[in-house]
Amino acid sequence: MKQDPADDSDHRRPATKLVQGGRRKDWTGLASGGAIVSPPVWRASTILYDDTAALKAGLKTNEDGKLFYGRRGTPTQWSLADALTELEPGAAGTMLFPSGAAAVAGALTSVLKAGDHLLMVDTVYDPTRRLCDAYLTPRGVTTTYYDPLIGAGIDSLVQANTRAIFMESPGSLTFEVQDVPAIVAMAKSRGLVTLIDNTWATPLYLPVIAMGVDLSIIACTKYIVGHSDAMIGSVTSAPATWGDLRLTAQVLGQHVGPDDAWLAMRGMRTLDVRLARHRDSALEIAHWLCSRPEVSSVLHPAIPESPGHEIFLRDFRGSSGLFSFALARGSADRFVDSLHHFGIGYSWGGFESLALPVDPSRCRSVSSWQGGPLVRLQIGLEDVRDLIEDLGQALRTI
């Protein structure tokens, strides 16, 4: 859905936008009067036109927010896209994708073509690395991985054919915070496009379009849906890259089912309060882990020893519920198997806590992880005292 990015008269704060987002009267009301609170699930493939003149007119306009064909969405998907766009001041619009991985692929392929060079952060989510190595490379796009702490020094890696810089901050598994303003300033001076995977902070804690990033990618599967029961991705774009993003999503046939879009919209209403609880509990646990002799380091952007901590303090409005810590000795597998309140499984951002033994050396080419056995925790909405008791008993078993 397209917004007018020049309109900066909207001073509502994010929590208010989450409550009001996507609830346009023409999506919630009836011509006969009255309106419901939330846009309902509209299921559609065929859209019926009044007559052949309306059919032909529809072909010409290709307008957002107009029923055309099911693949272009209904008010259910439009309201979600609209609400996501509103969270990023300065954005032109948001395209939805069937997963976070599809959103990453859609954003990158909307920017890159054969012959281009991409600068990719070394601590990127592993499937994004695989997209570069297994899909983009054979199709003529070269990738150079860079140190997440490189900052303005990224200038030295730019080649004549460099087209884009991809960031993820903090980094996957090891949580290095990137100097987004420095990288954006360099990119703008060289005419490069910037993309960021903003799944961890969400626009609530890092509104990246206002910071000058062109494309903000979110795996909505995580905090936006928030209940571990649907998969969706989104890309929100600044005006300059919006046309290519929209075209790419449309020609690749990207579509999100209305039931999943509705679940994501439902999740978004409580995003602010859920994130606050994830943030507070994760901070309490991170500080508690710092005091434990069995733990050698805690990789959480709000912990002073964590790489990029000063940049985190400067740029972020908050931290979320995912972080890692290293054991001084023993086995990460044994530790995770000893937990009772933490599920063992991929993904994160739901209401429930999860724990995973992780090995960053599997998916790094520039930096290398030197610490002890690493555990990644997703801190859910349980009572933090129960979680700390559980972590304490598991630490004693190793």
Ligand X SMILES: *Cc1c(COP(=O)(O)O)cnc(C)c1O
Rounded Cα–Cα distance for residues 208 and 366 (Å): 25
Pick between residue 94 and residue 199 the one whose CB is nearest to ligand X. 199
Q: How far is the CB of 310 from ligand X (least distance, A)?
A: 22
Rg over alpha carbons for the chain, rounded to the nearest Å, is 22
Q: How far is the CB of 144 from ligand X (least distance, A)?
A: 20
Rounded Cα–Cα distance for residues 342 and 336 (Å): 8
CB 259 within 8 Å of CB 107: no
Tell me: does residue 260 bind ligand X (CB under 6 A): no
Sites for ligand X among residues 284-343 (CB under 6 A):
none
Sites for ligand X among residues 114-133 (CB under 6 A):
125
Tokens of 255: 């579509």
Catalytic sites, residue numbers: 71, 125, 197, 222
Pick between residue 5 and residue 203 the one whose CB is nearest to ligand X. 203
Amino acid identity at 128: T
In angstroms, what CA-CA distances link 167 with 7, 283, 367?
27, 24, 15
> 142-146 and 117-121 as β-strands: parallel, antiparallel, unpaired?
parallel
> 354-358 and 322-327 as β-strands: parallel, antiparallel, unpaired?
unpaired
Sites for ligand X among residues 10-29 (CB under 6 A):
none
Sites for ligand X among residues 211-240 (CB under 6 A):
219, 221-222, 231, 233
Q: In what order do the strands lie in the sheet with 354-358?
A: 295-299, 322-327, 374-378, 354-358
Q: Which helix (H) or strand (E) holds 374?
A: strand 374-378
Residue nearest to ligand X as judged by C-beta position: 100
CB 391 within 8 Å of CB 285: yes
Q: How far is the CB of 262 from ligand X (least distance, A)?
A: 17
Pick between residue 82 and residue 168 the one whose CB is nearest to ligand X. 168
Rounded Cα–Cα distance for residues 145 and 129 (Å): 9
Sites for ligand X among residues 340-359 (CB under 6 A):
347
Residue environment code for 146-162, b if the CB has 16+ CB neighbours within 10 A, otherwise e:
bbbbbbeebeeebeeeb
Site residue total, ligand X (CB under 6 A): 15
∠ CA 187-309-233, nearest 5°, is: 60
Q: How far is the CB of 277 from ligand X (least distance, A)?
A: 19
Amino acid identity at 240: A
CB 94 within 8 Å of CB 36: no
Stretch of 93-101, 178-186, 252-260, 289-297 contacting ligand X, by CB under 6 A: 93-101
Sites for ligand X among residues 48-87 (CB under 6 A):
none
The strand pairing partners of 322, in sequence order, are 378
Site string for ligand X, 95-114 (x = CB under 6 A): ----xxx--x----------
Q: How far is the CB of 42 from ligand X (least distance, A)?
A: 23
Q: How far is the CB of 349 from ligand X (least distance, A)?
A: 8
Pick between residue 65 and residue 127 the one whose CB is nearest to ligand X. 127
Pick between residue 94 and residue 172 the one whose CB is nearest to ligand X. 172
In angstroms, what CA-CA distances link 120 with 138, 273, 396?
16, 33, 40
Q: How far is the CB of 200 from ligand X (least distance, A)?
A: 6
Pick between residue 14 and residue 100 the one whose CB is nearest to ligand X. 100
Q: How far is the CB of 109 from ligand X (least distance, A)?
A: 15
Site string for ligand X, 165-204 (x = CB under 6 A): ---x---x------------------------x-x-----
Site string for ligand X, 197-216 (x = CB under 6 A): x-x-----------------
Pick between residue 5 and residue 360 the one whose CB is nearest to ligand X. 360
* Long-range residue pairs from 152-157, CB within 8 A, at least 24 positions apart, any chain: 152/179, 152/182, 152/183, 152/185, 152/186, 154/119, 154/183, 154/186, 155/186, 155/190, 157/119
Pick between residue 104 and residue 112 the one whose CB is nearest to ligand X. 104
Sites for ligand X among residues 135-154 (CB under 6 A):
none
Residues that bind ligand X (CB under 6 A): 99-101, 104, 125, 168, 172, 197, 199, 219, 221-222, 231, 233, 347
